[in-house]
Structure 1
Amino acid sequence: MLHHMISSGPRPVAPFSHAVETNGFVFVTGQMPTDPEAPDAPLPEGIEAQTRRVMANLEIVLDGIGLGLEHVAMARIYLTQFERDYAAFNAIWPTYFEAGKLPARTTVGVTALAVGALVEIDLVVKRP
């Protein structure tokens, strides 16, 4: 089993590895909408901006281990304002993937997330 910490990746908000790899699968820890270059800066405003920052952070982690979003098999999305933000999130999500090749997905409404985020996303990725 390989435990990955990406030097250019987001600063962890808890004790974890950015990703753990075993038997060709990579489990990417849920990423927050923090800026790796300014981790103490305020979070972006709104679900659209936070989703873009989370996706950028996931891309940084994946790139750090030689993978990309095209390798994502499953995603779990956590939204603190599910009813308000679900449609806006769904409008952005497919823009990150090739048409007709969306990963499997679960989206869950939660009461709170670390650092006061509106969205967190974790991934299961398959190494080719």
Structure 2
Amino acid sequence: MSVRRLHTEARYSEIVIHNGTVYLAGQLDEGLSAGIEQQTRETLASIDRMLDEAGTDKTRILSVTIYLKDIDADYAGMNAAWDAWVPKGAAPARATVEAKLYAPEVLVEMSVVAALP
């Protein structure tokens, strides 16, 4: 079975497709100047774009791992944006953890696994 890699760089691929499953690298807001709700909305928009390019959509997400810089300060704001975005009846398995992210201005990053139609 073949492996497709999209937007491949030296260290990672943004999208990997194998055996009917789509794996997205950690997605985040590229602007990094906004608060948690806006960064979350931008991250989710990036996920939408990547899934579309891979041939699927958010209704087919199997699992998401969410990394927050400060879970105490940002969990509610992230959830506000998440709840507005996630399709009713199609919420994926999800884990949310606090993590030291690659730059101080990054408040949220998400890694996604989705099924192809």
> What range describes the TM-score normalised by the shorter chain of this pair?
0.7 to 0.9
Equivalent position of 1:38 in the other structure: none
The alpha-carbon deviation at position 113 of structure 1 amounts to: 3.1
Q: Deviations over 1:88-108 (max 9, x none)?
A: 111221222221221110001
Name the one with the larger strand percent. Answer: 2
For structure 2, the 5+ residue unaligned runs are none
Q: Deviations over 1:74-126 (max 9, x none)?
A: 00000001100101111221222221221110001012334731000010001
Q: Does 1:51 align with 2:53?
A: no
Q: Say what the alpha-carbon RMSD is for the aligned residues.
A: 1.9
**What TM-score, normalized to structure 2?**
0.88
For structure 1, the 5+ residue unaligned runs are 7-11, 35-41
* Contact 2:62–2:92, Cα closer than 8 Å, also in 1: yes
Letter in 2 for 1:104: A
Give the 3-state SS of the residue equivalent to 1:18 in structure 2: strand
Q: CA separation in 2, counterparts of 1:115 and 1:5?
A: 25
Q: Give matches, 1:9-28, under 5 Å.
A: 15-28=11-24
Equivalent position of 2:91 in the other structure: 102
Instruction: Give the one of 63, 85, 92 matched to 2:52.
Output: 63
Q: CA separation in 1, counterparts of 2:86 and 2:68?
A: 20
* Contact 2:64–2:92, Cα closer than 8 Å, also in 1: yes
Aligned length: 115
Give the 3-state SS of the residue equivalent to 2:16 in structure 1: strand
Q: Deviations over 1:10-43 (max 9, x none)?
A: xx7x721111111111111011210xxxxxxx42
Q: Deviations over 1:26-69 (max 9, x none)?
A: 111011210xxxxxxx4231000100111111111111122111
Identity of aligned residues (%): 35
* Superposition misfits of 4+ residues, deviation over 6 angstroms: none
Equivalent position of 2:6 in the other structure: 4
Q: CA separation in 2, counterparts of 1:54 and 1:4?
A: 18
Q: CA separation in 2, counterparts of 1:100 and 1:44?
A: 32
Equivalent position of 1:84 in the other structure: 73
